[in-house]
Amino acid sequence: MIDRLAEVSDDPEKGLNAEALKVRLHTLTPLVAEGFFAKKVVLVEGPSDVAALRAAAKMNDKSFEASGIALVDVGGKTNLDKPLIIFMSLGIPTYVLFDSDGHMSKDHEKKAHVNVQLQKLAGVKEPVEVRTHVTCDFASFETELGRHLKAELGEELFDKAVGKAAYDFGLETRQVKKVPAAMTQVLMSCNLAGHRSATLDQVIEAVFND
């Protein structure tokens, strides 16, 4: 595992070099530890990603639990590397999903290298800092998933569906994207209107592909 890390980065300022990661491995949370008992692990940045993927799975008649797949929120993009390396080293199939944050100039300057490092860990030979890209090992979004869905499904339609879900579930609008049942309603409403997220469908296909 450490040899793989050395290949990925030798720059201590990037925070992803071998010695730095050895120190940080003890920070795994109980939630992440669930991956040790799964057939496959999907690592995401936060609760909105979990909600979107659960909703997309339901739209495709799939179930993470029934398939033995652990869907894990690691609490931020910079926390994806540790569990990814550990699960891969143990031979546990692992899929990682992250935002490229291309819409945030200052944040992008700070974290563009993380996008590159995550792709390298996933085996990409020529990573790209910012892009929407779905593969059998990872998925990235040029900005962030919520913004991507709004653009892909249509801003007016998406906002209307989110507002309806907020009303139906007694939520604030900003909370809808973090609630799987609410996001399922949003995706279904958009689908009934003839708009479906091809990107999320591709992610679900990649994740559930044996």
> Which residue ranges make up each domain of the chain?
2-146+196-208
What does the pLDDT read at residue 19?
Answer: 56
Residue 109 confidence class, pLDDT cut points 50, 70, 90: low
What is the rounded distance in angstroms from the CA atom of residue 145 to the CA atom of residue 140?
Answer: 9
Per-residue pLDDT tens digits for 146-190: 999 999 999 999 999 999 999 999 999 999 999 999 999 999 999
Nearest one of 167, 148, 125 to 49, comparing CA atoms: 148
Q: Is the pLDDT of residue 2 over 60?
A: no
- Letter for the amino acid at 148? H
Q: Is the pLDDT of residue 16 over 70?
A: no
Q: What are the distances in angstroms from CA 133 to CA 39, 54, 90, 202?
A: 24, 19, 26, 10
- Letter for the amino acid at 117? Q
Q: Is the pLDDT of residue 111 over 90?
A: no
What is the rounded distance in angstroms from the CA atom of residue 180 to the CA atom of residue 62?
Answer: 14
What is the percentage of the chain residues whose pLDDT exceeds 70?
83
- Pull the structure tokens for residue 32: 């992440």
Residue in this structure with the two tokens 């692992």, named with its chain if needed: 94
Q: Which residues, 6 or more positions from 196, have their beta carbon under 8 angstroms from its beta carbon?
A: 59, 153, 187, 190
Read off the DSSP letter of residue 94. E
Q: What are phi and psi of 95, to 5 degrees?
A: -120, 135
Kindly report the pTM of this predicted structure.
0.85
Nearest one of 209, 168, 208, 210 to 188, comparing CA atoms: 168
What is the rounded distance in angstroms from the CA atom of residue 149 to the CA atom of residue 160?
Answer: 13
Q: Is the pLDDT of residue 49 over 90?
A: yes
- Pull the structure tokens for residue 26: 């003890």
- Pull the structure tokens for residue 31: 């939630």
Residue 198 confidence class, pLDDT cut points 50, 70, 90: very high
Pairing of strands 40-44, 94-99: parallel
Q: Is the pLDDT of residue 15 over 60?
A: no
Residue 9 confidence class, pLDDT cut points 50, 70, 90: very low
Residue 89 confidence class, pLDDT cut points 50, 70, 90: confident
